[in-house]
Amino acid sequence: MPQFDHEPGTAGLQRQTHSLFFQLSKVAVLVFVCVMTGSFAAIFGYSVYQSYFQIPEEVAVPAITGKDLAKANEILEKAYLKLAIQESRHTNAHPEGVVISQDPAAGRHVRRERQIMAVVSLGPELVDVPDLKGKTLREARILLSNNRLRVGKVTFKEEKMGEPEQILQQRPPGGEKVAKGRAIDLQVQKGSSSATTRMPNWQGEPVYRVEDLLASAHLSLGSVVWVFNDFAPRGEIVGQVPRKGDQVAFHSQVELQVSAGPTQDRLFKQRRLSIAVPRGTRNQRVSVVLNSEAGADRIFSGSTVSGDRLELMVAGWTGSEVEVYFNDRLQRREKL
């Protein structure tokens, strides 16, 4: 019987112990949740601060001008910066793949991971050297200018009786590729004052052969007039001045009449246009516009070295006007 008197007290003690353990567990869970929430908030807040509010460390921009791209990229990576190519251009002063300029300049302080803009060289722009042998010095100047080259050192050999002025040697030779603007050295035989040739008969020849015909006869083209002709096909030479058999000086100008096909009431004219490029900045933009009843037609557009001379063949209906522009400014207007 005494044992039964103590059982109610033991059961109460057990219930109190279980209640205390449950309360402590809830507190532990609550503390754990608070600690985890606080840690997450701290980590998230620090991440936001780093991304949006912390000012990045500044570094000095190293010099990369004159370096090749691989070396420039290596130098910038060591300084915690990035390379970005802003532009690539041809230049004679730097080989291909070398940095010409940079922005920001070396020595400036910028934030880490910033892009450094670089202008990179494509190397010299290459052009073909025309074959000048047999040409006059004037013809050579025009050909070189049209190919964006220039005349270099000119040496003369004494004239030979009855022979015209002509280029004997050139350096570099024709067909070679060289940097744009390079000087071509020439050896010129002086022309004899007695040098003449007999005018050949070109009637019946197709007009597309005119350049070969002129070169073989050591003559030059003055103008081409297209005339309507019921008996000759379009493009066939039907007349010439000087006439066949006339004795003329070498490199004299020849005027040709070319068939334009069946008769109509208008003439189609073609002639050589000579343009002296004014001196000034190194390059000049040249445009030639032909104005006719059909409207305005841009027949030439390009850049050339100042002080050079261009020669173009211009064709159109009689009464058309030719306009010459330098750097988009009208310099000259004349009837065809």
pLDDT at position 172, please? Answer: 94
Task: Kindly state the DSSP code that residue 57 receives in the 8-state scheme.
Answer: P
pLDDT at position 1, please? Answer: 45
* CATH class of domain segment(s) 269-336: mainly beta
CATH topology (fold) of 126-189? Trypsin Inhibitor V; Chain A (3.30.10)
Residues of the chain with CATH 2.60.40.2560: 269-336
Residues of the chain with CATH 3.30.10.20: 61-121, 126-189, 195-265
Q: Tell me which residue of 171, 57, 91, 189 sits closest to 134, measured CA to CA.
A: 189
Amino acid at site 153: K
**pLDDT higher than 80, residue 146:** yes
- Residues counted in the chain: 336
Assign 50 a pLDDT band (cuts: 50, 70, 90). Answer: low
Q: Which pair of tokens denotes residue 80?
A: 């915690």
Decide: 65 and 106 in contact? Cβ < 8 Å: yes
Assess if CATH 1.50.40.10 describes domain 195-265. Answer: no
Q: Which pair of tokens denotes residue 23?
A: 């309360």
Task: Kindly state the DSSP code that residue 53 receives in the 8-state scheme.
Answer: I
Decide: 117 and 171 in contact? Cβ < 8 Å: no
Cis peptide before 173 (omega within 30 of 0): no
Query: Which residue intervals of the chain are DSSP H helices?
Result: 2-48, 69-78, 137-146, 210-217
Q: How far is 275 from 285, CA to CA, in rounded Å?
A: 12
Q: Is the pTM of this model over 0.85?
A: no
The strand pairing partners of 313, in sequence order, are 272
Assess if CATH 3.30.1300.30 describes domain 61-121. Answer: no
Assign 129 a pLDDT band (cuts: 50, 70, 90). Answer: very high
Residues 6+ positions from 60 with CB-CB distance below 8 Å? 79, 107, 108, 109
Q: Helix (H, G, I), strand (E, B), or coil: what is residue 207?
A: helix
